Amino acid sequence: MILLKLYFTFLKIGLFSFGGGYAMIPLMEKEIIKNHGWLTTTEFIDIIAVAEVTPGPIAINSATFVGLRTAGFLGSISATVGVITPSLVILLLIIRFLTRFSSHHQVQAFMRGLRPAVLSLIALAAVLIAKEVFLNWQSFLLGSSIFAFIVWTKIHPILILLLSAFIGLLFL
């Protein structure tokens, strides 16, 4: 029963989250924490952080971890397959049909309409994470400084993550 619950929960997350991993975070948070109680908010934030620094898409990494934590190895398979099923099916349909109709005015208008919604979902994910991460002035200062540093430099994201981890070890 739990394997089916994991599959269908992550199927829903994969199906109704447009815009990739960050846009999925609000729906994942609602399903994983509020609806099912599989994780606490702190555990969820930790999963997002680990999923971000490990290879692979954030949604797949998160689904695998939640499934493993909830129902072991089979749970990780169930959740992972659930989250990738919609993308796989939709991608196959898009490849088949969008190439024929990509220059059509309504298809272009549809895509232009999705972009602001995706940006809004990503911003919401940032706000949800910020509420848990900025617990004191030091973490706020570190986060703000790193954000400014990213905006004004071309430094590689891996270096940013390593620098942040090092600063966290020293000061937080």
Answer yes or no: is pLDDT of 20 > 70.
no
Closest CA to 160 of 152, 138, 135: 152
Kindly state whether residues 29 and 86 are assigned to the same domain. Answer: yes
Average pLDDT over residues 120-143: 85
- Which pLDDT score, from 0 to 100, does residue 54 have? 83
Average pLDDT for the chain: 87
**What average pLDDT does range 13-34 have in this prediction?**
83
Range of the domain at 172: 134-172
Same domain, 11 and 94: yes
* pLDDT reading at 35 higher than 90: yes
Looking at the fold, whether 125 and 143 belong to one and the same domain comes out as: no
Residue 161 contacts residue 150 (beta carbons within 8 Å): no
CA-CA distance, 15 to 85, in Å (whole number)?
8
Instruction: Identify the pLDDT of residue 32.
Output: 94
Query: Which one has a higher pLDDT value, 117 or 79?
Result: 79
What are 68-93's pLDDT values in tens digits?
999 999 999 999 999 999 888 988 88
Q: Are residues 83 and 163 in the same domain?
A: no
Asked if residue 167 lies in contact with residue 143, where contact means CB atoms within 8 angstroms, the answer is no
* Confidence category of residue 63, pLDDT binned at 50, 70, 90: very high
pLDDT digits (tens, 9 = 90+) for 118-127: 888 888 888 8
Percent of the chain with pLDDT strictly greater than 90: 28
